[in-house]
Amino acid sequence: MPELPEVETTRRILEPYLLGQRIQQLLHQDPARYRNTERAEGRRVLGTSRRGKYLIIHLDENLELIVHLGMTGGFRFEPHRHTRVTLHLPHQTLYYTDPRRFGKWWVVEAGDYREIDLLCRMGPEPLSDDFTLAHFQQALRTPRKIKEVLLAQEAVAGVGNIYADESLWLSQIHPERPAASLSSPEVRRLYKAIRVVMERAVEAGGSTLSDASYRQPDGQPGYFQFQHNAYDRTGQPCKRKGCTGRIAKIVVGGRGTHFCPQCQQNSR
């Protein structure tokens, strides 16, 4: 699933094509999944932003076009056999592709996220000043497993399966540890690790895995997968200096989870 780095990369690439342009047509055949999109037609794009894994396109007349890429969604500059939405601009056509059809679009009044509950309760952005150690410590006062807490988006926004595994590996924390059991030094390590991992992943354009479901709009892959230390490395040697363990895979919160049993021990 595209996470913060992939969505931010998409936003940065698309913004020059969108900014100041008027949406001429927005075509699809699935009004249940792509809601009220007719309201965006004729509207001028004032800017773009991102909240967690949501791309937000700010329109005139106090409207927002919100896109969640789902598991396999993305934008292309060329037609694709899995194109679901076609967005016509005066000098460019953008094609939203989504092989598995889990992505969703909404057009809403600016800031009215009643249809998108997660946006109403999402935690701070990990690379923003709002993401403070004090807030993070408070959010981890729960018996839930730390991997589940990270995926829930309330402690910190935009961290999904890939970057939760990478952050937990970097901070040497077992994914099944109860969040409340983490010591202050461990919380501090995880807080710093999330920021480091996200910053590096954004710089690398996100992660393109073996299924190639995520690509940048120009068709180029992301490159952070070459820096993965845990995710999708089952059975491979741990990259931590001095560690002789191998990456294992378990299921936490219904998600495949990668970690090193030797240097991420489940001590409580």
Binding residue positions: 82, 100
The annotated binding site for DNA is made up of: 82, 100
Q: Which helix (H) or strand (E) holds 138?
A: helix 133-139
Residue 22: name the closest of 107, 101, 95, 91 by CA.
91
Q: Which three-class secondary structure state does DSSP give residue 199?
A: helix
CA proximity to 145, closest of 121, 180, 169: 180
Indicate if 2 belongs to the active site: yes
Q: Any catalytic annotation for residue 255?
A: yes
Q: Which of 2, 5, 126, 175 is catalytic?
A: 2
In angstroms, the CA 115 to CA 19 distance is 26
Confirm whether 15 is a catalytic residue.
no
Choosing from 53, 145, 189, 215, the catalytic residue is: 53
Report which of 225, 227, 230 is spatially closest to residue 168, judged by C-alpha positions: 230
- Is there a catalytic annotation at residue 199? no
Catalytic residue among 15, 33, 255, 261, which?
Answer: 255
Closest by CA position to 146, among listed 186, 197, 115:
186
Distance (Å, whole) CA 14 – CA 246: 39
Residues taking part in catalysis: 2-3, 53, 255
